[in-house]
Amino acid sequence: MMIPERLRREVWEANLGIYRAGLVTMHSGNASGIDRRRGLVVIKPSGMDYDKLRPSDLVVTDLEGRQVAGKWRPSVDLRHHLYLYQRCPEIGGIIHTHSNYATSFAMLGRPIPAYLTAIADEFGGEIPCAPYADNAGDHLGEAVLKAMGRAPAVLLAHHGAFTFGPTPRAAFKAAVMLEDVAKTCHLGLLLGQPQPLPPEEVRKWYERYHTAYGQRRRD
Ligand SMILES: [Zn+2]
């Protein structure tokens, strides 16, 4: 079986990225990616320190979770990643963290309303919070899927957050942005009661960010 080396590198970079960005500590959290053509998922091994992780340590499984490469056991959250990959063909990368500010909202079972233009830009509206779900079976995957809206992120009550994107890199960006806006909202809520942006303003910022922002080739 051909092992997707480029994907392995991308997933390794995403795992390293969440560690360097301070979104995970010790063994918590994980990043994965999928090669849709080959039907292979690459994910962090269970209980391994991020700073010791090498690309060759990552585990490769098929979409049913059968291990096809790697000498370590996969993350215990593999089942939830597979559940989402099986049901969301547009998702190419998934990240799970317990990042502090995002999890402070999750702890209270609170979604993050579109208080900021940065939330409108990246998330297109409220960042939803799924109800508490046990880690066993498909409960957690089901809860995340049910809560999923436009935003590439879902908070999970009493637990943490899942972010997703078309690539592991995009899921990583969503994880970083989620923690950034969650921190600002957490601080703002200490000062007073903010109002969410009106829906038409959210739509405007989201559309502009996804059509006109950044660099485009001119040829
Ligand atoms: Zn967790």
Domains of the chain, earliest start first: 5-211 (3.40.225.10)
pLDDT of 2 reads 77
pLDDT of 215 reads 67
- Separation of alpha carbons 106 and 76, rounded Å: 20
Which residues, 6+ apart, have CB-to-CB distance to 141 below 8 Å? 79, 80, 82, 83, 84
Confirm whether 213 is a catalytic residue: yes
pTM: 0.94
Residue percentage of the chain with pLDDT more than 90: 91
- pLDDT per residue over 79-112, tens digit each? 999 999 999 999 999 999 999 999 999 999 999 9
Q: Using pLDDT thresholds of 50, 70 and 90, give the confidence band for residue 26.
A: confident
pLDDT of 27 reads 85
CA angle, 176 then 182 then 192, to 5° = 160
CA of 96 to the centre of ligand 1 (A): 7
Residue 209 Cα to chain centre, angstroms: 20
Inform me whether the pLDDT recorded for 219 exceeds 80: no
Q: Using pLDDT thresholds of 50, 70 and 90, give the confidence band for residue 181.
A: very high
Mean per-residue pLDDT of the chain: 95
Query: Of these residues, 77, 115, 121, 206, which one is catalytic?
Result: 121
Inform me whether the pLDDT recorded for 1 exceeds 80: no
- Separation of alpha carbons 122 and 182, rounded Å: 13
**Residue 183 vs residues 112, 126, 176, 219: alpha-carbon distances, Å:** 11, 15, 11, 40
CA of 72 to the centre of ligand 1 (A): 19
CA of 30 to the centre of ligand 1 (A): 8
CA of 2 to the centre of ligand 1 (A): 30
Q: Using pLDDT thresholds of 50, 70 and 90, give the confidence band for residue 216.
A: low
Q: Using pLDDT thresholds of 50, 70 and 90, give the confidence band for residue 217.
A: low
